Each structure stands twice: as structure tokens, then as C-alpha cells.
Structure 1
Amino acid sequence: MEKALAFNIYHPNCPSRLFFSNLADKWVLFIVDTLQTQPTHFNALKKIIAGISPKVLSQKLKMLERDGFIQRELLDTRPIKVMYSLTPLGHELAQSALAFKLWAERNMQHVLDAQQKYDAAEQLTAKI
């Protein structure tokens, strides 16, 4: 039995650092959260995730597929369609993405209030 490798995200050469950087991307979190509910076609993902370009969506989907979070299935239709769905590992990641989403929606007003308070204090300090 092989011993599991120990990874340290704070070490500059640790592969988990790049992996963490990739997953901390807003588009990745949107894609994973969207696919959590059901498998989805490329064009449907593009419509659901407002603001993402087809190029970026394609890049992020390839990265997620390479990392084992999603699977890509070619459907035998005319024209050929591609369906994306989460793998079991992707579903596990989606739970974290959902937690971020819910936290942001629940706490955004607190963040906006803090920003406004900070900016007002900065303006007062700049006048002095």
C-alpha cells in the first residue's frame, strides 16, 4: 500500500498551489455550481453564466475535465452536441462552491457596508 503524499499549499513548488489558484477562479465556481443541478450543453452553460466568453468557457471546461471534475460526453445527434456533467469529485467540489455562493449572498450587504464605511473614513483622512 502506497503512502499518500503530503501536500503543503504554502510551499511554492507544491502542485496544490496551482490547483488552488485554478479553482479560486470565479468562472470555475460558476461552472461547477451550474453543473451541480444537471448535465448541461455548452451553449446552455454560456447562456446561464452571463458574461463568460465562449473561449474562456471552453478553456475552463477543458481544465476541469483534465483535473477530473467534469466529464464531457459527445451525443450522437445532428448537429453533434456535447454534454458536460460533474464527476463524483466534481460534486464534492460543488458543495464548496455552493457554500461560497450562499455565504456571498448572505453576507454581501455587510461587505458593502464595510466598504462604504472605509471609503468615508478614507475621504475624511484625505481632507485632513
Structure 2
Amino acid sequence: MTALRADMFEEICPSTLLPFRIGADKWAGMVLRCLEDGPRRYSELRIPLARISPKVLTQSLRSLERDGFISRTTDGRRVTYELTVLGRSLLEPMRQMCAWAEDHWDELLDAKESVKES
């Protein structure tokens, strides 16, 4: 399994403009993408998700676990997170939503800007 890249998510990412969310918060989709290739430790998740405060990342992980999308395994002091079957089933719909956001990027930006101006 390859290491997660710090630049995995751009500062301005189409997923931030989506009019819908996966899970309870706006970071859930990014967390799920980080777990796509297998289990990860919290410290590994912090690399591409550095924009998220540790508190908010912890809340997001707990929410995803509570909703059945990820599982948390503790082995002594080592804690890992991984996708459940339910969480893995979201990956393809997420890819489709990301493609949709990319196709409608300009429209989404225009809509967001028009609300700011009013």
C-alpha cells in the first residue's frame, strides 16, 4: 500500500461545492477516499487531511464508524481505521458525484458566488 500524499486533496476541491454530503459532515467523503486502499492509522490520515483540525477529524471518524461506513481496530496502542463493506459500496457513487461536480464546476461556483453577492 502506498503512502497517502499531502496534496491528495486540493485546497479548492470540487467536493467542497457539492450540494450534498456523505455521512454527517463535509469531510466524510475525503476520509473514505483516504481509506480506499486499505486500513490507515490516524497519523496517516492527518497527512492529506491537514486542513481538518484533529478534533473535527476525530468527530468525523466517530460519525463514520457510528454510521457503519468504517471500522476502528485497536491493537494495544495502535488504532487503525478501515472501510466496511457498506463504506466500500460508497466508493463508486462517490466517483460519480466527483465527476458530476467536475462537469458542473463553473455552474456550482457561479451559484455560490451569486449567493455571496446578494
Same-fold status (TM-score > 0.5): yes
Task: Indicate the RMSD between aligned Cα atoms, in angstroms.
Answer: 3.0
Aligned sequence identity (%) = 38
Q: Which has the higher contact order (CA 8 A, sep 6+)?
A: 2
Q: Match of 2:42?
A: 42
**Structure 1: which 5+ runs fail to align?**
1-19, 124-128
Q: Cα distance 1:97–1:24, how it changes in 2: closer, same or farther (>3 A)?
A: farther
- Asked which structure has the greater CA Rg, the reply is 1
Runs (5+) with no aligned partner, structure 2: 1-19
Deviation string, structure 1 residues 26-82 (Cα, Å, up to 9, x no partner)? 211111122122211111112112311111111111111112111111234xxx221
> 2:64·2:70 contact (CA, 8 Å) conserved in 1?
yes
- TM-score of the superposed pair, with normalisation by structure 1: 0.61
* SS at 2:51 equivalent: coil
Match of 2:94 in 1: 97
Q: Give the paired residue count.
A: 98
TM-score, normalised on structure 2?
0.65
Alpha-carbon distance between aligned partners in 2 of 1:87 and 1:116, rounded to the nearest angstrom: 34
Cα contact 2:41–2:78 (8 A) shared by 1: yes
Q: Which has the higher helix share?
A: 1
User: Are residue 86 (structure 1) and residue 83 (structure 2) matched?
Assistant: yes
